Structure 1
């Protein structure tokens, strides 16, 4: 099968056109999105990117490696598993993902009711994260999200820090001290931070510790009632 011609081969020197040569294929930016918060195994990516087949995923990862956007490495013992992660240059695509999301929220065809992966919900929170004037002493929240698109998924844990200067959220694999711990499905948490639902309206969201810390996190990352999802 002949490879697709690049825009450069048509004497188009636009950098945006070249970017589309690198990441414009179907599924490519979705794979990148799922790697923005940290490395994943092939099976993890296939699980999180619902609808992609193993052959297509293999090809897209091969292309991303070839372009220097993704690299593959082996975790040390005892795991010894191969994972894919973004290179430093590839990590810069978070700002591209955010810009695309903020642009697309104006689309009348946006599937507002559709669910999102744990990383996608958190990326939406990061895109809208802001400082909190109410967090004078700073608040830390452990957020465990279970993918409600899948019946048997393990929760993914993130650590959020809310201060008067900024709000940050990152994926974490180790237990860390926090003022509050939250456990929720992606559907319920999306309803809270994107749909504007109050915590009290979602009794299946479990909060241990400071409820005020959780409310500060929601306030600092929420898109507001009725606002569409940017992920």
Structure 2
């Protein structure tokens, strides 16, 4: 098997050109495991800014969670937000490790436009609320019951999927951090770290032995580089990119 693939390395045409590569040892372990389980497709929902949903399901069959506008409101996206454990579902039922009243109501009162006969899914959350999801779907339209597969390998699928997504998140975080470390000046990094500690402009000026106007100058520059619009947003962006010690 190759060491990288766009989406799930199954048959059929590759996904769109905008689908980023999926690489890494954890992905290979996940794909090797799923190759042994039968005829399934693997999709990835990725909510990081600037990222597209990734899928191995060949076009023109597009799934509801693959485009950002529809994906954020899709039934699958909502389910992944409110459920931590691995679950499987079809148009008539959803099965979880333990009862989840929110999911039960969601499945009962939401138009079920899954786009697939059934699915097994696990949400992956990282620090600061970034959410990804790994979704397994049968290739056959007649395969609407995944209860046997859920019982046989649901927990193992969930563990491997989380390992893959967290490896992918971590690689992306390190790449983003490395690129920004060459953009943010040492004084700007010091400034955002002091802001994250809750210091005021006056306190930061005293700590850095600079004028308050210089503090505001550093803050304005780092906001532009981080794409932030406020102090809280700048701290959030810096934390998610690994620029703060507590997130490193």
TM-score class normalised by the smaller sequence: under 0.3
More helix by share: 2
Work out which of the two has the higher radius of gyration on C-alpha atoms and give 1 or 2.
2
**TM-score of the superposed pair, with normalisation by structure 1:** 0.25
**TM-score of the superposed pair, with normalisation by structure 2:** 0.24
